[in-house]
Structure 1
Amino acid sequence: RFLFRRSIQHHLAGRSTDLNVELYETNQCPEKPIWTLALRDEKTGLRFVRYGGVIGSPGLATPNNWFRIEKDWEYYKLVFCPTSVCKDVVCGDLGIYTGGYNRWLVMGCQQFSIRFKKF
């Protein structure tokens, strides 16, 4: 579920608009299934997307909780760039990092393109 900063009703009308991402699943983790961008990992140098974000509350205390959907040719991409929340932020595309047998969503790898399907 994509939760837009402003009230947006049209499908994908929220492109390039700051939004929160909340996953619906059976969550056994103590953190809420709301995306946040972690600090840079010392080993990989990447910033991992993880649970523990907060819905709403745009401001200097929550810049890591805001993402965007941006058009990329015929696909879309997920981007971390909350410039409407914080002006001094390093923006970047989200991509897939593979380590061992695991895959993570991170900022700093080749972008991960997505396509939305209308039901």
Structure 2
Amino acid sequence: MKNFALLCFLFIVIASSEVRFCRADASPDAVLDTDGKKLRAGDQYYILSVYSRNSGGLSIGGIYGYEKCPINILPESYDYLDGLPATFSPVNPKKGVVRVSTDLNIEFEASTRCGISTVWKVGKFDQYLKQYFVTMGGTKGNPGRETIGNWFKVEKHGKNYKFVYCPTVCKYCKVMCKDVGLFYKNGRRIFALNDAPFPVMFKKVRT
């Protein structure tokens, strides 16, 4: 009887260990587009606001609206405008599916009149506005200390998604973790780091 009890105990311990092992190794959930399909690295998607009123897709602009080289990211003013297509590049280039809670680069498929890259990054702290803005001019790939500002994550937000800045590509770097939301200035809504997420969904670009 004692041997039987011991065997049962060992079976339970082994089974529990296997469950924990499987859960630890499980990949994060895939990010889904508006058709319910998995986002694929390198494919183009419109990043649309969940709030259809006065908010469309994402585009390029400036805080004041008259900058010679606007580098800020902001939603279109009308819901029928899809904005600029974007691509997502996970930190592991071999991964073909975009997953939640995974470091990635985001890049607009567009060109700027001042020739900077359209890869998203966190800009330097704006001393006047007391704010970190999400801007362009980042570099893609090369995870580490030098590129720490270029990595974002997609996280679940209710039935939709949100962007967060909380990179884990540098084990020894001290980073802040913030949602990517909107900062209001001069009647304009600009992407910035704050505690109020901007819910989004992803619509695949039809070719």
TM-score, normalised on structure 2?
Answer: 0.53
Q: Which structure carries more helix by proportion? A: 2
Contact 1:95–1:108 (8 Å) recurs in 2: yes
Q: Which has the larger radius of gyration?
A: 2
Structure-to-structure mapping, 1:1-119, within 5 angstroms: 1-6=87-92, 7-10=94-97, 12=98, 14-86=99-171, 87-117=173-203
2:114 and 2:164 map into 1 onto residues whose CA distance is: 25
Contact 1:97–1:109 (8 Å) recurs in 2: no
Runs of 4 or more, structure 1, over 6 Å off, are: none
TM-score, normalised on structure 1?
Answer: 0.88
- 5+ residue gaps in structure 2? 1-86
1:91 and 1:85 map into 2 onto residues whose CA distance is: 14
| SS of residue paired to 1:42 | coil
Contact 2:111–2:118 (8 Å) recurs in 1: no
AA partner of residue 85 (structure 1): C
| SS of residue paired to 1:117 | strand
- 5+ residue gaps in structure 1? none
